[in-house]
Amino acid sequence: MFEKVLIANRGEIALRVHRACREMGIETVAVHSTADSDAMHVRLADESVCIGPPASRDSYLNMQAILSAARISGADAIHPGVGFLSENAAFAEMVEEHGYVFIGPTPEHIRLMGDKIAAKEAIQELGLSVVPGSDGPVTDDAEAARIAQDIGYPVLVKAAAGGGGRGMKVAEAPDELPDVLAHCRNEAAASFGDDAVYIEKYLGHPRHIEIQLLGDGAGKVLHFGERDCSIQRRHQKVIEEAPSPALDVATRAEIGARAAEAVGKISYRGAGTIEFLYEDGDFHFIEMNTRLQVEHPISEMISGIDLVREQIKIAAGEPMTLSQSDIVLSGHAIECRVVAEHPDTFAPSPGKVTEYHAPGGLGVRVDSQLYSGYAVPPHYDSLVSKLVVHADSRAECIMRLNRALDEYVIGGIETTIPLHQRLILEQDFLNGDYDIHWLETYLGL
């Protein structure tokens, strides 16, 4: 096992990784920007190294600085957390070339899934259904028009290098297609330096359902059921739940097994997530994330398994002793992503936290970097806390979440706690009756 792990991240996820390391008897090295000297992950780590100024590109995205920090501290391995360098194949490669273990998938798998066209092709060959669309990139407008006519309008044009909702646009009818193609190619070239685009049938009312996977790199892949992440605004997830209120037990077991089998064929290593759009009873693969995800705690709560611990064990080369029959999903879990933003306008609200009291009690978990007196810096993602609640049934889970939100005190900054309090008591939410557009419609966007 590793003696020392460098955590190449900040905020609540750095803390999350630190906690797993501590419980495994592994020393931790925090890296931080000058804006994060007082951060909780820095305070708790055994050692810390300042890696640069506030701007992410000069600190948390600065590969050389992070590798220098690894060298100075004598770390054995690097955990990239989520976001930042977690899906950067070149970074994973550099980490390995410098003699450290990258706690994540192989650079090849990160690269494959980062190219959304190549990922879709590979996943289709591995046996999962994808959204009907072009086979590969479309370069010719006449060919694009034929494909679109074939699959039927509306169609969605997506950038190969996109993902997470960036660089996509709908064409409602044939006359819109040339402009939409040109727009997406330009956007993709400007944003990603790659103008490759592809076409898909536009699904009008899907749910976003994703399967949590864990592979040992030798062909064994376990699934941990699904998460329903449909409650989102501008591609930012707001509430996630597991299991999805839309699936029954048999459907869950089947899609989990199919997803695990697919990536088992490529001997996937580490934690990963297969994202599907689920509409009218059908799953359509859209993307695979080759990292831990922000919302992983809800899968941990229903499975009782520490996914970060498992990631670390796999990276250290320990045999994966878990088997699928050990993964028994029980009860229901919901996560509220609390962000430092105004609950009505979503205006950012960084600044000093003057008062802090986190909820507790049975089935309540708070993954947060906040403490009383901490100043939320303005330079980064606004996520300040994940309130995660587990209970036997969905109805009890919502009651417990309501109770926990009522107890939560974060003074001095605006947060979205009041929004969460309203959302979870909406009749549609209580009924589990929502799709990816529900929240934006509710908010009048």
Q: Which residues are catalytic?
A: 291
CA distances from 15 to 89, 369, 370, 407 (A): 24, 7, 11, 22
Query: Pick from 417, 443, 439, 401: which is nearest to 342 by CA?
Result: 417
| Longest Cα separation, the chain | 62
Secondary structure class of 107 (helix, strand, coil): helix
Is 88 an interacting residue with respect to ligand MV4 (CB under 6 A)? no
Paired tokens of 223 = 């699934």
Nearest to ligand MV4 of 356, 442 (CB atom):
442
CB of 154 to ligand MV4, least distance (A): 9
Binding mask of the shown chain, residues 397 to 436, with x at each position contacting ligand MV4 by CB under 6 A:
---------------------------------------x
Nearer to ligand MV4, 131 or 213 (CB): 131
The interface region with ligand MV4, picked from 45-53, 117-125, 141-149, 161-169 by CB under 6 A, is 161-169
CB closer to ligand MV4 out of 50 and 151? 151
CB 387 within 8 A of CB 294: no
Residue carrying the six token digits 């070149």: 90
User: Which of 76, 39, 74 has the alpha carbon at shortest distance from 59?
Assistant: 39
CB of 87 to ligand MV4, least distance (A): 13
Please tell me the count of residues contacting ligand MV4 according to CB under 6 A: 16
Q: If DSSP states are collapsed to H, E and C, what string results for 202-226? A: CCCCCEEEEEEEEEECCCCEEEEEE
Among 74, 164, 317, 319, binds ligand MV4 (CB under 6 A): 164
- Out of 10, 41, 208, 296, which residue is the one contacting ligand MV4 (CB under 6 A)? 208
Q: Which is nearer to ligand MV4, 220 or 437 (CB)?
A: 437
Q: Toward ligand MV4, which CB reaches closer, 78 or 203?
A: 203
Whether 410 and 417 have beta carbons less than 8 Å apart is answered as yes
Report yes or no: 198 and 133 within 8 Å, Cβ to Cβ: yes
The pairing of beta strand 77-79 with beta strand 166-171: unpaired
One residue of 2, 84, 100, 202 binding ligand MV4 per CB under 6 A: 202
* Residue among 328, 364, 362, 353 nearest 409 (CA): 353
Question: How many Å apart are CA 385 and CA 391, to the nearest integer?
Answer: 20
Between CA 170 and CA 192 the distance in angstroms is 19
Tell whether residue 113 is a contact of ligand MV4 (CB under 6 A): no
Binding mask 266-305 for ligand MV4 (x = CB under 6 A): -----------x--------xx------------------
Verify binding: residue 152, ligand MV4, rule CB under 6 A: no
Residues in the chain, how many?
445
From the list 17-25, 34-42, 195-203, 421-429, the region that binds ligand MV4 by CB under 6 A is: 195-203
Site string for ligand MV4, 228-267 (x = CB under 6 A): ----x--x--------------------------------
Extract the tokens encoding 196: 């490759």
Residue number, 156 or 391, with CB nearest to ligand MV4: 156
Residues of this chain that interact with ligand MV4 (CB under 6 A) are 131, 156, 163-165, 200-203, 208, 232, 235, 277, 286-287, 436
